Amino acid sequence: MQPDPWTHCHYCGAPLVEFHDHQRPRQRCSRCGQILYRNPVPAAGCVVVQHGAVLLVQRRRPPFPGHWHFPSGFVEYDEDIEAAAVRETYEETGLVVEPRSIFGAYSYFDDPRKNGIIILFHAEVVGGTLRPGDDAAAADFFPPDRLPQPLCFAAHIRALREWIERG
Ligand SMILES: [Zn+2]
């Protein structure tokens, strides 16, 4: 996804000009000269499995309301990535989890808000009670042969396929 170009410098507020930096279009401030690099944003989430069933949440809000994916979300600027995975899982499912290892890392280009990178952690439930949070319409565990539909986000769908293949 190619985002809308920015219009003003994030540092001094002056208008931006486009230029080419080794073939790649970038934007630079017309006053202070800062180049505004646009980078993928990090997201974090958890793969939580109990009795062979995986924890998924159903979106309440756009994009893709009604679709299912792993509990996950954007990492705050001053937040540790594992802490973000734990926080998002708690906010969306009510479950307190502890990350154990990295399940996988995936680039994504199909979120209309931002391109990014998601890191999914294997995590175990250590507390809490399963209930959908504010951002989620539903949260539940699903065995691989009874996954809910529709799913969303290519990275999540790929990770789910990998989870099934790994048995
Ligand atoms: Zn500037």
Q: What is the pLDDT of residues 105-129, one digit of tens each?
A: 999 999 998 999 999 999 999 999 9
Closest C-alpha to 31, from 13, 7, 5, 51: 13
We find that the CATH architecture of domain 41-166 is Alpha-Beta Complex (3.90)
Residues 25-48 have pLDDT tens digits of: 999 999 999 999 999 999 999 999
Q: In what order do the strands lie in the sheet with 35-36?
A: 16-21, 24-29, 35-36
Measure the CA–CA gap between 69 and 20, rounded to whole angstroms.
37
Question: 10 Å Cβ neighbour count for 17?
Answer: 10
Question: What amino acid is encoded at 103 in this protein?
Answer: F
> How many whole angstroms from 22 Cα to the centroid of ligand 1?
22
> How many whole angstroms from 54 Cα to the centroid of ligand 1?
47
Burial 97-114 (b: 16+ CB within 10 A, else e): bebeeebeebebeebeee
β strands within 33-115, DSSP E: 35-36, 41-50, 53-59, 68-69, 72-74, 95-108
Please check whether residue 15 is in contact with residue 8, taking contact to mean a CB–CB distance below 8 angstroms.
yes
Predicted pLDDT at 5: 80
Residues 48-67 have pLDDT tens digits of: 999 999 999 999 999 999 99
> How many whole angstroms from 20 Cα to the centroid of ligand 1?
18
- Higher-pLDDT residue of 103, 166: 103
Measure the CA–CA gap between 129 and 72, rounded to whole angstroms.
17
> How many whole angstroms from 23 Cα to the centroid of ligand 1?
22
Please check whether residue 103 is in contact with residue 139, taking contact to mean a CB–CB distance below 8 angstroms.
no
Location of each CATH 3.90.79.10 domain in the chain: 41-166
